[in-house]
Every structure is written in C-alpha cells, then in structure tokens.
Amino acid sequence: MATVRLLKCALLAALVACADAQAHVATTEASPFAWTFDPWIVIVLAVSLALYVAGYVRLRTRGAQGRAGRTARLAAFGAGWLVLVGALVSPLHALSEWLFSAHMLQHELFMLVAAPLLVIGRPLAVWLWAFPAAARTRIGAATRARWIRLPWRLVTLPIVAWTLHAAALWCWHAPRFFEAALARPGIHTLQHASFLASALLFWWTVFGRASEVQGSSNAHAMLSLFTTMVHTGALGALLTLAPGVWYPSCIETTRALGFDPLQDQQLGGLVMWVPGGLAYLIGGLLVGARWLMRRPPPRVGAGMAGER
C-alpha cells in the first residue's frame, strides 16, 4: 500500500514538473526582442494615419491660408503616431512583458510623448475633413447633439481630466491591479487604453482646450501640470526607494534576462520620476510661453494717464 502511494506521489510530481517545464518553454518561446503585429492595433494605427493624411490633403487644397499651422500640426501628429508605433509594435512591447522598466518606459511614451503630440496635431478636426461633405455635415450635427456635447464638456473640464488621469496612474500601479494586467491580456489592454485615453484628456486641457480661451485656462493648465508632476514623482519615488519588489510576476522574467528584479523596479521608478517630471516641466514652460505671447501689450495712453 505504501509502495502504491509512493508511486502515485512520484507520478504526480513528474506530471507537475512536466507541466512546469512546458509552461516555462511556452513563456520563453516568445522572444523579448520581437516585433508585435497585433491585427487590431495595426488596423487602428493604419486607419488613423490614413484619415489624417486624407483630411490634411483636402484642407491643403482649400488654400494657402493657415498652411504653416496645418503643416506643424501634421508633424506633431506624425511624431505622436510614430511614438505609438514604437510603443505598441516595436520590440519595446515584447520587452515590456519581461522587464518592469521596459513596461514603465512604454507607459511613459503613451502618456508623456504620444498623447501631447497627438493633441497638438488636432486629429478630430482633420479626420472630419477626410469624409465627403455630406458625411461631414452629419457627423458635425451628431457631435452637437446633447448626449455627446455634455459628456464631452464634462470629461474635458480640467479638474475631471486631472482626476481621471491621476486615478488611472495610481490604480493601475497598485500591485493587485498591475499583477492582474500582467496575468490577463484583456485587462492589460484595458490598462493601456485607460492610460492613453486619460492622458489624451489631460493634455487636451493643457494644449487643446486652453489654447482656445484666455488666461484662466492657461493658469489651470499650469496648475494641472505642476500637481501632476508632484504626484507622479511621488509614485516614481515610492517605486525607486521601495525595499522590496512590488510585482512578483516580474521576478522570473527579469531574472531570465540576467537582471535583478529590485534594480529593475528601481529603474522603472526612475523612468517615471526623472524623465516624467522633466516632460511636465517642459509642458509648463510651453504653456507659460504661450500665455506671455498672447497677453495684450500695455496701452501707451493708459500708462500716460496713470502717470498724470
């Protein structure tokens, strides 16, 4: 009887070892330096670029007025689009499945490089011009409908956009949610979508909405950038100075590439802390420069009256 039990235990141990070996092989079969051509991502990227180019060409044929501004916005959108390609299709995406620091770099590219460049490119207006005149009229009428106009106004309020972006950052970096994103592709996709969408709303309040109105919105933009730089810097510092690894799922893959998991986490925290803070600082300087350039010059007559 004891012999039978020993045989059963040995068989069970062999099956577990075999399953573990198969899982390890399946994990390591995917190269950390491979290009990722997810069909849906490639289709969305291709369609967005095609619509923008078509809209730009149609606007360009309407006349030379404003051509320099349209060209600058095209360059901004193209640069942001290339950054998205680099983050989602290039080997960085595959490497982010192995290293936490690469994962953080990917997220920062979403939120701090691609998002502001896409906002500066004003894609919604340019995409609209890619459609025929009748379609543009129907789309324009639909966007003026109450059920679209009111939610859009709500989510583009500076305080709402700021809160959504901050919530996405802090919630997804909580160990429980980050681990869930690593374990399930659907949750991982939701994580990336929420990072990019909330960043687009945030940067819209900085470079999109604020450029349409006066100094009060420029002040809101400066405040949003400063406070976001502070709380993201705090999150980066927590990751950098943590005494232990926050995300155990990263340990095995990090060691498989010959890196120390804690050092990899510290590097990821530094990516958020230092380059991230620099990006918000640059954004603040651009908003400040725009604010100063758009302030009306003092009237000479008013100054003379004050002297009298």
In 156-260, which ranges are continuous DSSP H helix?
158-172, 175-183, 185-203, 215-241, 249-256
Q: Which residues contact 85 (CB under 8 A, 6 or more apart)?
A: 45
99 belongs to a structural domain:
yes
pLDDT of residue 17: 32
* φ and ψ of 288, to 5 deg: -65, -40
139 belongs to a structural domain:
no
305 belongs to a structural domain:
no
Mean pLDDT across the chain, nearest whole number?
83
The predicted-structure confidence for 275-305, as pLDDT tens digits, reads as follows 889 999 999 888 888 777 766 555 544 444 4
Say yes or no to pLDDT of 83 above 70: yes
6 belongs to a structural domain:
no
Say yes or no to pLDDT of 54 above 90: yes
Q: How confident is the model at residue 42 (pLDDT cuts 50, 70, 90)?
A: very high
pLDDT of residue 306: 46
Say yes or no to pLDDT of 50 above 60: yes
Residues of the chain above pLDDT 90, percent? 60
Closest CA to 45 of 86, 87, 84, 79: 84
20 belongs to a structural domain:
no
pLDDT of residue 22: 36
Say yes or no to pLDDT of 28 above 60: no
Give the chain's length.
Answer: 308
Residue 149 and residue 154: Cα distance in Å, rounded?
A: 9
Residue 280 and residue 162: Cα distance in Å, rounded?
A: 13
Report, as an integer, the average pLDDT of 100-113.
95
- Cα dihedral sign, 59-60-63-69: positive
Higher pLDDT residue, 54 or 220? Answer: 54
The predicted-structure confidence for 186-222, as pLDDT tens digits, reads as follows 999 999 999 999 999 999 999 876 445 455 677 888 8
27 belongs to a structural domain:
no
Using CA atoms, how far residue 172 sits from 104, 125, 190, 222, 243, in Å, is: 12, 31, 10, 25, 20
- Cα dihedral sign, 173-231-276-154: positive
Range(s) of the domain holding residue 166: 32-132+145-295
pLDDT of residue 241: 95
12 belongs to a structural domain:
no
pLDDT of residue 292: 77
Q: How confident is the model at residue 23 (pLDDT cuts 50, 70, 90)?
A: very low
Residues of the chain above pLDDT 70, percent? 82
Report, as an integer, the average pLDDT of 172-198.
93
Say yes or no to pLDDT of 148 above 50: yes
Q: How confident is the model at residue 20 (pLDDT cuts 50, 70, 90)?
A: very low
The predicted-structure confidence for 225-279, as pLDDT tens digits, reads as follows 999 999 999 999 999 999 999 999 999 999 999 999 999 999 999 999 998 899 9
The rounded Cα 111 to chain-centroid distance in angstroms is 3
Lowest pLDDT segment from 23-27, 37-41, 216-220: 23-27
- Number of domains making up the chain: 1
Q: Half-sphere exposure of residue 266, counting CA atoms within 13 Å on the CB side?
A: 9
The rounded Cα 237 to chain-centroid distance in angstroms is 20
210 belongs to a structural domain:
yes
Enter the pTM of the model: 0.82
pLDDT of residue 130: 92
